[in-house]
Each structure stands twice: as C-alpha cells, then as structure tokens.
Amino acid sequence: MAKIAILERKCIGCGLCAGNCPFGAIDMKDGKPELNAACKVCGICVKSCPEKAILKLETKVDSVDKTKWNDILVFAEVSGGQLHPVCLELIGKARELAKNVNYQVKAVLVGSGVSAFAEELCHYGVSEIAVYDDPALSYFRADAYAACVEDYIKYAHPSVVLVGATSLGRSLAPRLSTRFHTGLTADCTKLELRENTDLVQIRPAFGGNIMAQIITTNTRPQFATVRYKVMNAPARGEEATGEILTRKIPKGVGDSKASCVSVEPIPPKKSISDAEILVVGGRGLQKETDLDMIKELAQLLGGDWATTRPLVEKGWNTNDRQIGLSGRTVRPRLIITCGVSGAIQFTACMNGSDHIVAINTDPNAPIFDVAHIAIVGDLYEIVPALIQQLKEAQA
C-alpha cells in the first residue's frame, strides 16, 4: 500500500501542492499542508513540491498463506420456505471455477427447518453441506446468521465465498467480510479464478462506463455477491452425492439484541426476472402513451414488458420493471428491445438471454453488439407491423 508523507521541517508553505492537487485533498492550515480524506495517493503533489518535502511511501502488506484456504463456499439462502434459485446458479458457477484449481464446492444452510434442503443440494455436485438448523434462526437476523456462517468459515477455511445479491444476501455479506477483515465485491456479473486462487471479480463501475476487475490478493476468504439470473444453474443429478454436516449454532446466537415482533408476508408478485419473453422500451420512446404498444406486443407474444432506467426517471415506469444495475437482471428465452441504446448498465443485466432482438435507428448503437438479430429502423414502423402480423396469425 502507498501513502503520502509531508516533511514539515522542509516545507516552506508555498501552497503549490494544494493548488495542483486535482482532488482537493490538501488543506493549508497555518501555512502548512494537511491531507484530508479525498487523497487518492496519485503523487502529483510529490512532483509539484519544489523543496522535496512531500514523499510517496510504499508500505508492505502482510499476505495470508493461501495454501491454508481452499474450496469454494456457497451460501444457500432459504426464503419463503423455499431454496432461492440464485444459490443453484452460484453452485453451477462455483463448480466451473473449482475445476481450474482442483477445489471442491461446499454449501452452508442457515435457518429453521432447512435440513430437507440439504438433501436436495446433494443432487447438484456439492461435496459438503453444513446445516445450522435451529428455532432461534426461524427468521432472518443479520447478526445471528453472520455468526453461523462465520463459524463454518473458520471451520472449513474456504478460499472463496459466494452469496446471492438478494435483500438477505446484501445484508449478510458485508457483515461477514468485515468480520474477516477482507474484501467484498458486490453485484458481480462475471467471475474468474486464477491458478494462484485469486478470484477475479468483474462488475460495471464508474456509472457502467468500464468493467472493473477486482482482486483480493492479500486476504482470505474472498467474498462476492452475484445477482439472480446472471449465472447458469447446473442440471439436477439423479444420484445424491456429498456429505451433510449438522452444526451447532454458536453461543450467543439465541441472545441476539434483535427480536422479531411480527411477520407479515408480502403478497406474491410477478417479477420480470422470471419472464420467458420480454419486450423492453427505451429512451427512443417519445411519450408515455407509447408504452401501450410495448405492452401490447408483449401480451401478443405471451410475455411481459419492461423499460430502461431513463423511462423510470421520467416517471413512466416503476423500478420493479426496470432492467439494469439499479433495477432487475433478466435472462429470458426471447427479449425484444425497442429504442434501447444498450449502455453497459443495461446489457450487463440481460446479455445472457437466449435470443436478443434489437430495434434501433442508429446502426452503431451498442445494443447491436450483444443482439442476435439487429433491426435498423424506426420502432414506430416496426413494432406496429409486428403487432399486426401477430394479430393476423392468431386470427
């Protein structure tokens, strides 16, 4: 790690460092420079100091013994009395990554009455399933669940821990990474495992303008959360393999300061993430009523409809029907985008679809880079024509 040091005995208080800092990270107090939290350790102040009073120091970071941390652990979330589908997708990806370094894939279940789900996970190529089954875990409490998973991590020493980017997972994963003083990358869209067991965690950054590759090189385990519908779930095997390990809950879990006062189930709601066919309206739509033809086309195809973020910001749609990093991730059999430019924030959350049809007037639109069928044209001519043909076919 690097840091900036200021030698006060050599500083003449000229202020050149503060004036040249692009981040405003140097404050002049009593004629002397002081660093604030905005410092990015870029080193421009070092070069601008005429008295050589500012130094960039490299400090050595102790690295963990990676040979003591092995295998990939998947947190198998149970919500609403069911195994969340995202955990199967994580198991599928974990098995793919494990082949490169001869790792095993393990899973951990936490809750009340979850032992039956461990038997189901045995059909998906998991070598070991740790189960923390206790009435004290009948509802989610972040501290209690984190204590259980922490207990198993200390027992098994996995190199990688994968958690679904669900409401529960987004609360659990940061608590775990903090307990182990290690890194966490949220909402990964791609994962790779190097031969030295470093996990390359890939996700959009800087507003989706770049795909960042994040690596945790000096600590273990490596934590990452992944959205639902991003990875491929493995096929269920006929034979049940793997060992079910029943674990006792750690001491103090039952004494959590958090308590459940009441539970009110949320009524089941249809999600665009589960749709097999989707029609998506983008910035190319001129007015809110134009969404009617998007909805009509979706209905005729027996599918659902969605939009991009700009239409949500205009108030034309709600977040639960938005595709993108700040919305939902989808993987339908067929998706038709209408007037969607194809920014990476959008494409990263739908490029796993089986068939992508894109309609846009701009032949250079980024959406065509991921589309299987590219239609360069006016959506106000093409969509009504598709609707008419579907009506005639159904008649």
Strand partners, 203: 212
Are the beta carbons of 275 and 330 closer than 8 angstroms?
yes
Over 90: is that where the pLDDT of 207 sits? no
Over 90: is that where the pLDDT of 208 sits? no
Which band of pLDDT confidence, cut at 50, 70 and 90, is reported for residue 237?
very high
CB burial string 171-193: b at 16+ within 10 A, e below: ebbbbbbeebebbbbbbbbebeb
At 268-296, the pLDDT tens digits run: 788 999 999 999 999 999 999 999 999 99
User: What pLDDT does residue 60 have?
Assistant: 67
Average pLDDT, the chain: 93
Report all structural domains of the chain as residue ranges with CATH numbers, in order of start: 2-58 (3.30.70.20), 66-253 (3.40.50.620), 272-394 (3.40.50.1220)
Measure the CA–CA gap between 234 and 107, rounded to whole angstroms: 15
Residues across the chain: 395
Q: What is the mean pLDDT of residues 80-99?
A: 95
Least-confidence region, from 58-62, 75-79, 157-161, 372-376: 58-62
Closest to 224 measured CA to CA, from 193, 196, 197, 186: 186
Over 90: is that where the pLDDT of 204 sits? no
Q: Three-state DSSP class for 257?
A: coil
Task: Name residues whose C-beta falls within 8 Å of residue 267's C-beta, 6 or more positions apart in sequence.
Answer: none
Whether the model clears a pTM of 0.85, i.e. scores above it, the answer is no
Which band of pLDDT confidence, cut at 50, 70 and 90, is reported for residue 265?
confident
